[in-house]
């Protein structure tokens, strides 16, 4: 299961030095719900290696504003505290996993 990421814990997680994947989503977003099972499965498969979490844009706004998130789902990929990749829209589990492997 993906971790819950919010404005309170996001900076600390990104600065941890571990690879981080943040899924920006909302409950009402169909494509967000479509990729949610893949994100949760990848979170379990890469537990301990990569921090994978979900950021609800309806509950928090600071991080989405900072990274100019205009469409959801958007996934941001961080390595050593720096944004290294971004994916907007739906994606297959294999596509997401390839991006995660690039972080390792």
Domain 3-103 of CATH type 3.40.50.720: no
- Measured at the CA of 13, the angle between CA 82 and CA 24, to 5 degrees, comes to 80
The single residue of 2, 10, 32, 72 carrying the catalytic annotation is: 32
If you ran DSSP here, which 8-state letter would residue 43 be given?
H
**What pLDDT shows up at residue 16?**
94
- How far is Cα 32 from Cα 16, in angstroms, rounded to an integer? 26
- Domain range summary for the chain, segments of one domain joined by +: 3-103
Which tens digit of pLDDT belongs to each residue from 34-80? 999 999 999 999 999 999 999 999 999 999 999 999 999 999 999 99
Both tokens assigned to 74: 């958007």
Secondary structure of residue 81 in the 3-state scheme: coil
Mean pLDDT, rounded, for 6-31: 96
Portion of the chain with pLDDT greater than 70, in percent: 100
Beta-bridge mates of residue 22: 53, 76
- How far is Cα 6 from Cα 95, in angstroms, rounded to an integer? 25
- Measured at the CA of 65, the angle between CA 60 and CA 69, to 5 degrees, comes to 95
- Catalytic residue flag (residue 88): no
pTM for the whole structure: 0.96
Mean pLDDT, rounded, for 72-90: 97
- Catalytic residue flag (residue 29): yes
The single residue of 13, 26, 29, 36 carrying the catalytic annotation is: 29
Is 90 exceeded by the pLDDT of residue 1? Answer: no
CB 46 within 8 A of CB 100: yes
Calculate the average pLDDT of the chain: 96
């Amino acid at each position: 299961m993906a971790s819950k990421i919010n404005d309170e814990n996001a900076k600390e997680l990104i600065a941890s030095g571990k690879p981080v994947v943040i899924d920006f989503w909302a409950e009402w977003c169909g494509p967000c719900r479509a990729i949610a099972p893949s994100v949760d499965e990848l979170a379990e498969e890469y537990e301990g290696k990569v921090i994978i979490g979900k950021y609800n844009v309806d509950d928090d706004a600071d991080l989405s504003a900072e990274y100019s998130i205009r469409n959801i789902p958007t996934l941001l990929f961080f390595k050593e505290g720096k944004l290294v990749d971004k994916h907007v829209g739906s994606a297959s589990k294999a596509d997401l996993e390839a991006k995660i492997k690039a972080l390792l």
